[in-house]
Amino acid sequence: MHLAYPAVLAVLLFCVGVYGVLARRNAILVLMSVELMLNAVNLNLVAFDVWLSRAAEETLHSGQALTLFTIAIAAAEIGIGLAIVLAVYRNRGTSDIDRLRDTAEGHESPTADDSDASITGPPTTGTSTTDGTEKAEATA
């Protein structure tokens, strides 16, 4: 088998992965696209390792060893990435990447009605204490 066949397949897989990362808005689909790109790299590593091992008398199979490390790192990346996506989905109710640009809590843009309340503060009522001074309490 020629080296061109797995190389072309790896290029196609990588291009589909890049398209998925750039065009998709769902975080889980983006993670799946990253996995496609990693699998394309793994395919290239194994194909070039087999191709180069035919030419060399000593075969170290370093491409296949690197592929095992890549698979282990990809599994850890998917585990952590999926945990983050699930935590964000529980807090925000969506996994849409466009809606998750502002990840800080409570930094919503104020509306016209909220702008006056934030400047003046909440309404207070005065209550007397035993020594005659007034203590302000916030009413909800």
Average pLDDT, the chain: 79
- Is 49 or 122 the better-scoring residue by pLDDT? 49
Residue 105 phi, psi (nearest 5): -75, 135
The dihedral formed by the CA atoms of 124, 129, 132 and 138, expressed in degrees to the nearest 10: -10
- Evaluate whether 81 touches 33 at the Cβ level (below 8 Å): no
Using one digit for the tens of pLDDT, what is the confidence trace for 34-49?
Answer: 999 999 999 999 999 8
Handedness of CA 56, 62, 68, 70 (dihedral sign): negative
pTM, full prediction? 0.65
Percent pLDDT > 90 in the chain is 40
Using one digit for the tens of pLDDT, what is the confidence trace for 62-86?
Answer: 888 899 999 999 999 999 999 998 9
pLDDT for residue 117 is more than 50: no
